[in-house]
Structure 1
Amino acid sequence: MNPSTEKIEKWTSVYNRIIREWINSELRGFPELNDSNYYYILLVFEQPGISQKELTEAIFREQSIVTKAINYLIKHDWLRKESDPSDRRRSLIFVTEKGKKSYPIIKDIATRSNVFATEALTAEEAAEMERLLIKAAKPFLSDIQIKK
């Protein structure tokens, strides 16, 4: 391993933890939400009727993890699931009224998390960081999953 890169995993982990802790502190008004599940509400609100498969691809998570998170959010009245009328084997996910009412606050938290995550960087450095993260992740993801 190159000596200049052997701490990348460590600092990626530290950076990720700091951002996740910040998000959790901002979500404290929503006891059922945390850094692992709040993003589902954003994606479903912005893509009503998204299939569970599409949601899995958009979040870069395993099907079982997404299923568990969706079921949890359904149980706590954030999401609802319907059968696709054109293919009853598919489930379509929608945000509930609770999710719709809370969306502006949750969206603001997501927006501010990006500001928080890059506050020590110039705009150019933040853009370069994003470019490098995409470049590093791209070999491990299908092209369909990489969306800016």
Structure 2
Amino acid sequence: MPASIPLKVQTTLMVHMDTITDPSKYRDRTRDWFDFFHSRRRQIIAQMITPEVIEEHKRDPRGTGGAHSRELGEVLRYIRNIPSDGKTFIYAMKPFHEYRLARMAGAGGTTQLIGNEIFKTEGDAAHAVFMSRLAELGLWNSPISESGLS
């Protein structure tokens, strides 16, 4: 087995059929694979995040001026596919005029506004969400303001 595969996953790969035939001895290993996949994917995504990709997103967060670059598209797909509990999103205080950032809560939880910054456009708020998610995932640590709108 390659050393780059975590021990938990190696164990999963080496399960014998007689263990699986007895459900009381079977442990769901979905989380092991999820963690393995996301740690590998995060390494690849981190290499794609450059000042140019950040600037591309800042110019056109929704991709309305044409398709995003391959790198930005990959980064966006990755951060959009993380579980939504705790995710930052745009809250429209006055649609088309005032936006703030908020954090999603799990089932039965209360959504909370984040910070005091008010954005005049949805695009500016979308870029702030992008920068927030990158920071939360440990993918971008730059002296850019909280919103990424330096």
- Classify the TM-score, shorter chain: under 0.3
TM-score (norm 2): 0.26
Select the structure that is richer in helix.
1
Greater relative contact order (CA < 8 Å, ≥ 6 in sequence): 1
